[in-house]
Amino acid sequence: MSERKRQKMISASAQDGVGVEPGTSILAEASRVCFRVVGRPEEVRTARRLVAEAGERWDLGEEVVEVLRLVVSEVVTNAVNAVPGGLIEVRVERREGCVVLEVWDEGEVMAGGEVRMPEGEVESGRGLAMVGVLAARWGVEAEPDGRGKRVVVHVGVGRGCFCGG
């Protein structure tokens, strides 16, 4: 790691006021933020806050920041449910025309890979359908080494909202 990147690493601890595990690092660069949380429900709020702060720092506008909050909440909640107590890594990157959010966890990709709406008055199960509506595009991929999965969500920014690959 270059000295410049090393200088941008922020060690998180309870005294920093950051709700991630002590000793966990947050990489904050001009156009990218990466952090790890433990798969606990209270860490969803931490992920939401850190992603929103990045969006505000990048001056994305209130509407896009709100979409990022909703998307990261849904995807990290799913990761918490998939790997309770496990490691979850979040990356958010500002690109031309979009923001790319990636959430990695140690879980497996669900069989079938398609999103189905729950029937009746079931209170959960609609999150990924909502992500599909809010995102310019999204998908789930198994890690090549078989260790975990990554949800990748592209959120359009500005006119045209081009989210090239």
Look up residue 151 and give its amino acid: V
pLDDT tens across the length of the chain (165 residues): 444 443 343 333 333 334 455 445 566 567 899 999 999 999 999 999 999 999 999 999 999 999 999 999 999 999 999 999 999 999 999 998 999 999 999 988 765 555 455 566 655 556 777 888 889 999 998 888 888 999 999 999 976 555 555
Q: Which domains does the chain have, with CATH numbers?
A: 3-156 (3.30.565.10)
- What order of strands is seen across the sheet that includes strand 137-142? 9-11, 25-28, 32-38, 87-95, 98-105, 149-156, 137-142
Closest among 48, 107, 41 to 77, alpha carbons compared? 41
pLDDT of residue 132: 84
pLDDT of residue 29: 66
